[in-house]
Amino acid sequence: MQHLLRFLKPYKKELFLGPFFKLLEAVFELFVPVVMAKIIDNGIANGDTAYIGRMCGLIVLLGVCGLGFALTCQYFAARCAYSYGRDLRDAVFRHIGRLSCTELDRLGTSTLITRITTDVTASQQGVNMFIRLASRAPFLVMGAIVMTFVIDWQLSLLFLAVAPLLGLVLWVVTRKTIPMYGRNQQKLDGISRHTGEDLVGVRVIRAFSRQKQEASAFQDECTDLERSMLSAGRIAALLDPMTFLLMDLGIVAVLWFGGGHVDTGRLSQGDLTAFANYMNQILLAGVQLANLIQILTKAQASSLRIAQVLETETSMQDGTSVPDPSAPEAIAFEDVSFGYAGSGDAALSHISFTLQKGQTLGIIGGTGSGKSTLVRLIDRSYDATEGRVRVFGQDVREMQERPLRRLIGSVPQKAVLFSGTVTENLRVADADASEETMRTALEIAQAAEIVDRLPFGMQTRLMQGGRDLSGGQKQRLTIARALAGRPAVLILDDSMSALDYATDAALRRALETRCEGMTKVIVSQRATSLMHADLILVLDDGVCVGQGTHEALLESCEVYREIYETQMA
């Protein structure tokens, strides 16, 4: 929680001036009854019409000033809250960028999205209301308490008796509701995740005609959420009536004991009236305070969820050295083993190989054999659990992450593009890629004709994730995206699976002839895609069961031979 306070620091001025102007407004508000008393005492008593008129003008003037102060306060409140919200949102987003894949896998995408959107809004609302309400109510309470203390200090002790009770109610209610609000938020996360999943899987759902069941599952989730909100509401709803009740009972006590004090002459009748009035003032301010606390409680629950993300630290320390792409050795694995966090089994065991600059590495193997995992260690998406991964002769853990990744062009298995124009997508790796570089990349990736056919060519806006393109078109564009960064190492993680053979062959030819000197790592199911590689790794269940050239493997590796033969059959 302390974490989030630092986001308010830059807005100290607003945080001070907002409540200050609110206070001024409250002070001016308190003047009004005084002026009215003057009208009664002087104006009416003397029958002075002009005086009454003057004083009423004064009341209007006080109102105008109050309006000005209030607007100033609101202005500062809105400015502070929304700047805070923006900063917080940006910080969470930036922080997510710093987390490693391990933490992102653990946290999950949908909850991160809700935290950036809904939770930040709630926290921001807390700040806004705090500035608008926090000064006025305590000021009125304090003022009234001081006044009562002056009138009859013994009687004012009654307040001090009520105060701890009130505090207790507040404490119990907030303590009980904070975790409940957290649970509500979790349920919302669930609905959000489910909605996202159903949107992605809409074709499967409809192919199975499961829309009704999905709708009823949602219905259940919504009802569950409602139930959970109701039970939090049952406790939260206590706050307001309990505050009223305690304060009113305080007034009852004041009247009862005050009556005795009148009898002994400690207190006049007028004083007793004033006392009850002040008690009433405290009551109203107290209720306002209780409401504020309720808003703050919700904001607190959300803030905790945000702080949780901000406090998640990356399990990967960034290195300091700068990668040197001219090193003769491109990639080397030294007895590397790796297991995903949370799963006991090793996804890769004891992998060793060395690849020289400009060579091509082929990785082949069964489904779930660890091919993708292996390439994800190269750009340090994950750290090896054992052994060492060297890129350009240096341990990946010692190098600065971003320069390293800029040298590596990755094409993931699942082709995902960003919303934006084709140009913007191609410039993901290198913001300054020239038209010529992009054109070359498109040509190599066999994607030039796709772009030529788009209505606005390079400037055509792709919908989110490139959803308006076919699988093969997307794959070719993701390959072009990687190439446009002119990487020293190109990693193709089974990223030609949706291409037909003719395109696949043309692409591979272009890679060979037009990307000389580029080190390539190609994961594929197809032996034909890999047979010309300088080194082929055959993976089976995380273990390297053979490595060498195509010819050598045909001789020595039974698994490889089997793969090759089934394909050529």
Binding status of residue 30 toward another protein by CB under 8 A: no
Residues 297, 295: Cα–Cα separation, whole Å = 5
Question: Which pair of structure tokens corresponds to residue 158?
Answer: 């009654």
Going by C-alpha positions, the residue among 343, 278, 309 that lies closest to residue 123 is 309
Strand, helix or coil for residue 118: helix
Q: In the complex, what is the shortest distance from the CB of residue 408 to another protein, in angstroms, rounded to a whole number?
A: 7
Query: Which one of residues 308, 312, 385, 413 is an interface residue with another protein (CB under 8 A)?
Result: 413
Smallest distance, another protein to C-beta of residue 14, A: 11
Cβ-based nearer residue to another protein, 322 or 335: 322
Judged on CB neighbours under 10 Å (0-12, 13-18, 19+), 383 is middle
Beta bridge partners of 333: 353, 389
Task: Give, as ranges, the residues between 256 and 315 that touch another protein (CB under 8 A).
Answer: 256, 258-260, 262-265, 268-269, 272-273, 276, 280
Q: Does 166 bind another protein (CB under 8 A)?
A: no
For position 546 contacting another protein by CB under 8 A, the verdict is no
Stretch that binds another protein, among 12-20, 134-142, 162-170, 184-192 (CB under 8 A): 184-192
Closest among 546, 25, 381 to 391, alpha carbons compared: 381
Residue in this structure with the two tokens 């002790």, named with its chain if needed: 157
Regarding 322 and contact with another protein (CB under 8 A), the answer is no
Helices 49-98 & 120-133, crossing angle to 10 degrees? 150
235 lies in the site for another protein, by CB under 8 A: no
Contact partners, residue 157, CB within 8 Å, separation at least 6: none
Please tell me whether residue 153 binds another protein under the rule CB under 8 A: no
Q: Give whichever of 8 and 272 is closer to another protein, judged by the CB atom.
A: 272
Dist CA 99 CA 312 (whole Å) = 8
Examine residue 513 and tell whether it contacts another protein (CB under 8 A).
no
Question: Virtual CA dihedral for 453, 454, 459, 460, nearest 10 degrees?
Answer: -170
Give least dist CB 6 to another protein, A: 18
CA 471 – CA 503 distance, rounded (Å): 13
Binder of another protein out of 497, 534, 545, 561 (CB under 8 A): 497
Whole-number Å distance between alpha carbons of 553 and 536: 8
What's the min distance (Å) between Cβ of 521 and another protein?
13
Task: Tell me, by CB under 8 A, how many residues bind another protein.
Answer: 184
Residues in 73-132 at the binding interface with another protein, rule: CB under 8 A: 74-75, 77-79, 81-83, 85-86, 89-90, 93-94, 96-98, 101, 104-105, 108-109, 112-114, 116-118, 121, 124, 128, 132
DSSP 40: I
Compare residues 311 and 500 and give the one whose CB is closer to another protein.
500
What distances in angstroms separate CA 42 from CA 23, 45, 62, 123, 273, one per listed residue?
Answer: 29, 5, 19, 51, 22
Question: Is 455 an interacting residue with respect to another protein (CB under 8 A)?
Answer: yes
Question: Applying CB under 8 A, which of residues 225, 477, 507, 518 lies at the interface with another protein?
Answer: 225
Q: How many CA atoms lie within 13 A of 93 on its CB side?
A: 9
Select the residue interacting with another protein from 505, 510, 543, 552 (CB under 8 A).
505
User: How near is the Cβ of 163 to another protein at its closest, in Å?
Assistant: 18
**Which CB atom, from 160 or from 463, has the smaller least distance to another protein?**
463
CB of 388 to another protein, least distance (A): 21
List the one residue from 245, 324, 512, 558 that touches another protein (CB under 8 A): 245
What's the closest the beta carbon of residue 62 comes to another protein, in angstroms? 7
Q: Using the rule CB under 8 A, is 562 a contact of another protein?
A: yes
Q: Is 556 in the site for another protein (CB under 8 A)?
A: no
- Which CB, 248 or 335, lies closer to another protein? 248
Q: Which of 333, 415, 322, 401 is nearest to 373 (CA)?
A: 333
Q: Which two tokens stand for residue 31?
A: 């003047």
Q: Does 229 bind another protein (CB under 8 A)?
A: yes
Q: How far is CA 143 from the centre of its chain?
A: 42
The two structure tokens encoding residue 130: 């705090």
